[in-house]
Amino acid sequence: MPEAPLRTTTARGTEILVEPLSHVRSCSVGFWVRRGSCHEGSTEEGLAHFIEHTVFKGTERYPDPETLSAATDALGGHLDAFTGKETACFYGKVLREQLPDLLDLLGELVTAPRFEAEELGRERSVILEEIAQSEDQPDDWASELFYLNFWKGGALAHPILGRPEQVAAYGPAEARAFFHKTYRAPNLLVAAAGDLDPAAFLDLLNPILDKLPEGARNEAPRPSRPSPFLLNVPRKDLQQVSLVMGFPACSHQAEDRVATHLLAQILGGGMSSRLFMELREKRALCYQVGSYPTHYADTGALQIAAGCSADKAREFVQRTVAECLRLARQGARPEELERARLQARTSLVFGQESSSARMFGLAHQAIHMDRVRDLDAQLAELEAVDLDQLNAVAARVLNPEGFAVSALGTRKGRDIRPEDLVG
């Protein structure tokens, strides 16, 4: 019987989750910050991501990038970070013997960055290059345009990387101000999984967390409300149209979350999915197409991503809408639900075999759902979704009135048109 995860909160408000895993030889730890791009103000866009980069440029005990890089390499495992819409995370994976060193480095990053002007200037140039590169990646840019327009005017529309003109102005003062109001005890969560003892882990961790300043948790961002749109962006330099489409869907904690995941699997979750069979195998309109749900604190989307030639873009969208409507009106077949359930069940079980996957899963549940469930509970949720519930969700979500399309690389005269979206 696997040992249940330890879940506790320090006196200063930092939540800690620790799960021993007897079948692995590694340890994975993540320091999670409950603040991403959607928490930024209009003058702060990109600062969460800016901080994620610049803390690696030197800390009190590792004063320059070279020293910090040498300490990272000495771990034998890996150390990394990312910024999302709702969180940022600094994480690593090592053998058990290197766990104290990993915690030491992670602790330095979240408690003692130096933010020196010269190093920030160099890293700022790197971030500006990253922004420019993202605009040159059609799939990434089509996705960014989708977020910008689907949640226009809301917090989710803030670009994670920021806008070049704003990022170019960020320096030590802006970094320190954002860091000090964000990196405090109630805004952090530490998740760990692997070959470790919870009591010994807490003994190592608590002195690090004691360095975090106290204070209140940052306020939640203003709500984002999805809205339908159609955006054609011509790009003569692109050989294909990159499409990101979607319907409004549920939040992290909604009762229909699991059913929405199964619906996305049936619609475009593999080579036997509705969209893959209709658009690629039957019509040869694309090479790849997929659908996936995205959930946030108070909203979500069921998204569809694909690429196709400019002369096929209109037919591609028309047939996508038609297939969605067919599923909404006729419902899924029992065998489709069972296949989607098996795929989801397999993914959950496979996730238990990796310390890093389990660490990410623990943190996701605690941050976004305020509960931690074991594997059996998650599998039970999958089994509880019946065909009637799934089809009710399909009828509600796959509504063309809420459909949104971001199309990058269209050609004049071959633009996607409003009449293509009605089914």
Tens digits of residue pLDDT in 360-371: 999 999 999 999
Catalytic annotation, pick one of 15, 44, 52, 336? 52
| Beta-sheet pairing, 88-95 with 78-83 | antiparallel
pTM of the model: 0.94
**Within this chain, domains 6-209 and 230-421 share the same CATH topology:** yes
pLDDT at 20: 95
Query: What is the 8-class DSSP label of residue 254?
Result: -
What is the tens place of the pLDDT at every residue in 61-119? 999 999 999 999 999 999 999 999 999 999 999 999 999 999 999 999 999 999 999 99
Considering just the CA atoms, what is the radius of gyration of the chain in Å? Answer: 23
Cα–Cα distance for residue pair 117/309, rounded to 1 Å: 46
pLDDT at 217: 86
Environment class of 228 (CB within 10 Å of its CB; exposed 0-12, middle 13-18, buried 19+): middle
Q: Which residues contact 384 (CB under 8 A, 6 or more apart)?
A: 258
CB 279 within 8 A of CB 289: yes
The highest-level CATH class for domain 230-421 is: alpha beta
How far are the Cα atoms of 80, 105, 112, 151 from residue 73, in angstroms, in the given order? Answer: 12, 11, 20, 41
What is the tens place of the pLDDT at every residue in 235-261? 988 989 999 999 999 999 999 999 999
Cα–Cα distance for residue pair 119/128, rounded to 1 Å: 14
Residue range 400-416: mean pLDDT, rounded: 95
Q: Cβ atoms within 10 A of the Cβ of 414, count? A: 16
62 in helix, strand or coil?
A: coil
pLDDT at 388: 98
165 is catalytic: no
Cα–Cα distance for residue pair 207/185, rounded to 1 Å: 13
Q: For the chain, what are the domain ranges?
A: 6-209, 230-421
**CATH architecture for residues 6-209:** 2-Layer Sandwich (3.30)
Give the tokens for residue 402. Answer: 């809420």
